Amino acid sequence: MKTYTLYQIDSFTRTPFAGNPAGVITNADGLSDDAMQRIARELNNSETAFFLSPPDNTCDGHLRYFTPTTEVPVCGHATIAALYAKAKETNLGGRVLRIKTGVGILPVEACDDGKDYTVSMTQGKFELSEPLQKENTDALLTSLHLAADDMDPRCPVRIASTGHSKVMVCLKSAKTLNALEPDNAGLTALSKRIGCNGYFLFTLDTAREGILTEGRMFAPAIGVAEDPVTGNAHGPLGGYLVRFGLARPGDDGTLRFTGFQGEKIGRPGKVHVEVRVRNGEPETVKIRGEAVIVFKTTLSVPTSADVPR
C-alpha cells in the first residue's frame, strides 16, 4: 500500500461548505489513470485534482483533473484548490508556479497576504466559436425549458473557451436564471452534437453589490448535473463580455469584474476575473479566488494502483 495526502477544499470562498468543492491529492506520483478515476468517482466532486511531480524542467508541477466519469484537460476551481493546498502544505509564500495542464503550461500564482492565500490562475487563449446552428440553438432552448424571449438580445449563443469550452447563454433576468430546471438528457445529447459539455447560463441583471454577473453551469455529459462555482466558465465569460461590448476595460486596458454563482444549490461563491484587452480583443485572461480546507486526511492505495473491481 502507498499512502497519499488527500484534501477536500472549497474554492472561491472562505466559508466551509460553500463555493465549489474539489478533492486534491498533492503527492499523486504512482497513481494509475484507473486509480485516479476511481478516486474521483468515490469523492464525487465535480472535479478532483492530482498534483504530480514535474516531468521536466519546463514546469514546476503537473496537474491532472477528473470528474466522477472522465478526465478533463483543465479545471479552474480545482487548480485554485490544488495550489492552495500546496501553498499551505509547503509554506510556499507568494510565488508563481508553472503548472502543466491538459491545455499547456499555465502560470498560477499563490498570493500571500501574511494571513492566508488567494490563488490567481492565468488561463489559456480565449477562443470563440461561430454561432450555433439554428437546430442546435432550438434544442438548447428546449432542454433548458426557455423561450427565445428569455434571452438577452445583446448576447448571441456561442461556445467560448480558455482551455475547456462552455456554451455561453445570457438571460434577461436573475429570476429566470434561478428558476431553471434543465433536461439533463437533452443537454447530454446536444453535447455530443456540438462537441461541448458545459453550459454556462448567466445574467447581467443583478443587484448584488460589487457583482457584475450571476451564473449557473450545467455539464451532465461529464457527470456534473450542476457545478457550484466555475472558474473555467468565468474566464471565457470575461472574454465574451469584451468581445460583445457588454463590459469595458479600465484606463489601463484591463477589465476587472466579479462573478457570483452557486446560490441556487446552497454553495455561493465569487470569482474575480481580469481580462487584459489589446486592440479591442481579449489578450490574457486570469481568474482569482479564495479557498478553505474542509478536511485533510490520508488515502492508502495498493502499490499496483489497481483498485479491486
**Model pLDDT, residue 234:** 98
Q: Identify the weakest region by mean pLDDT among 50-54, 76-80, 262-266, 300-304.
A: 300-304
User: Cα 134 from chain centroid?
Assistant: 28
Q: What average pLDDT score do residues 124-136 get?
A: 95
Give the end-to-end CA distance of the chain in Å, rounded to a whole number.
17
**Model pLDDT, residue 93:** 87
15-38 as b/e: b if 16+ CB within 10 A = eeebbbbbbbbbbbeebeeebbbb
**Model pLDDT, residue 50:** 98
**Model pLDDT, residue 309:** 52
Query: Of these residues, 47, 226, 263, 274, which one is catalytic?
Result: 47
Which of 304, 289, 306, 303 minimizes the C-alpha distance to 10? 289
pLDDT at 115 > cutoff 70: yes
Sign of CA dihedral 166, 167, 172, 174: negative
**Model pLDDT, residue 302:** 84
Distances in whole angstroms, Cα of residue 208 to Cα of each of 12, 37, 179, 214, 241: 17, 38, 18, 9, 18
**Model pLDDT, residue 296:** 98
**Model pLDDT, residue 304:** 59
209 in catalytic set: no
pLDDT at 308 > cutoff 70: no
**Model pLDDT, residue 1:** 87
Q: What average pLDDT score do residues 59-79 get?
A: 96
Q: What average pLDDT score do residues 132-160 get?
A: 97
pTM for this prediction: 0.93
pLDDT digits (tens, 9 = 90+) for 214-249: 999 999 999 999 999 999 999 999 999 999 999 999
Q: What average pLDDT score do residues 46-63 get?
A: 97
Q: What is the average pLDDT score of the chain?
A: 95
pLDDT at 305 > cutoff 80: no
Q: What average pLDDT score do residues 173-194 get?
A: 97
Phi-psi bin for 172: left (phi > 0), alpha (psi -120 to 50), beta? alpha
Surface-to-core class of residue 123, CB atoms within 10 Å of its CB (0-12 exposed, 13-18 middle, 19+ buried): buried
Which helix (H) or strand (E) segment holds residue 90: the answer is: helix 76-90
Q: What angle do CA 125, 262, 284 make, to 5 degrees?
A: 15
pLDDT at 169 > cutoff 70: yes
Judged by DSSP in three states, 113 sits in coil
